[in-house]
Structure 1
């Protein structure tokens, strides 16, 4: 469980400021060549990717890490809890992991080249998708 929380915090802390920067058209967005946006379907600015990165992966990862570490629940997540029989952070972690893998895959498909960051964040996503499936994590997050 500790490794999962650490990965969620890592993803959240790195995605949140990057997402804010992309959303506001800051340094990161300005460092990308203008023709990169031409390669992306349905997107003509960095606003949507910035919101997904900042809110989805940034805030989402930090809230999920908090939920996993504290066991806090929210009534509006009861459906996920009933469906899985586990704390909501279990399914949220898997969703974040799969989303991160998809995000990196889309970057590799639509944007030129690759970097070590693709390996780091793709690996982080893969780990987040798999770690909750391990018996110890499944048992820890099982509802009592």
Structure 2
């Protein structure tokens, strides 16, 4: 089946998120002190973390690896019994549902980051808008029809 413009947008948005999170999360894993990204440890004073290792792992896995794997799933639409168990939209294929999940994971990540850092920057706004864009594009009727389960 031919991909639609909406599907291509969804894949590009997830690719942008995934690559950025792989880079940012990877940098925090390699340098838990935050030095590699110029992030001082005092930023974590209001958080439960003493360094950036755990946030880096979460960023790398949930917002880096997952969106990148999801791109493959959106294109190939593979069957997955495990993913289907986590699919709360029973009329939709799991890759579409996980695209919606990723947007909510990103919104939660940004909200927690703002609480823990006790600050808001332009990057928080940018990534919040990215989460909304991913959700908006996933909900487009032309995208939904491509990921509806066959009856």
TM-score interval for Structure 1 and Structure 2 normalised by the shorter chain: 0.7 to 0.9
Q: Equivalents in 2 of 1:61, 1:128: separation in Å?
A: 11
Q: Which runs of 4+ in 1 moved over 6 A?
A: none
Counterparts of residues 1-144 of structure 1 (less than 5 Å): 1-25=7-31, 29-30=34-35, 31-40=38-47, 42-81=48-87, 83-144=89-150
2: CA distance, partners of 1:127 / 1:101 = 11
Note the aligned Cα RMSD (angstroms).
1.9
Deviation of residue 47 (structure 1)?
1.2
Provide closer, same or farther for how the CA distance between residues 108 and 78 of structure 1 changes in structure 2, counting only shifts above 3 A. closer
Indicate if the aligned counterparts of 1:94 and 1:130 stay in contact, CA closer than 8 A.
no
| Contact 1:11-1:58 within 8 A present in 2 as well | yes
3-state SS, counterpart of residue 114 of structure 1: coil
Q: Which runs of 5+ in 1 are unaligned?
A: none
The runs of 5 or more residues in structure 2 that have no matched partner are: 1-6
- TM-score, normalization by structure 2: 0.84
Q: Which has the higher helix share?
A: 1
Residue correspondences, number: 142
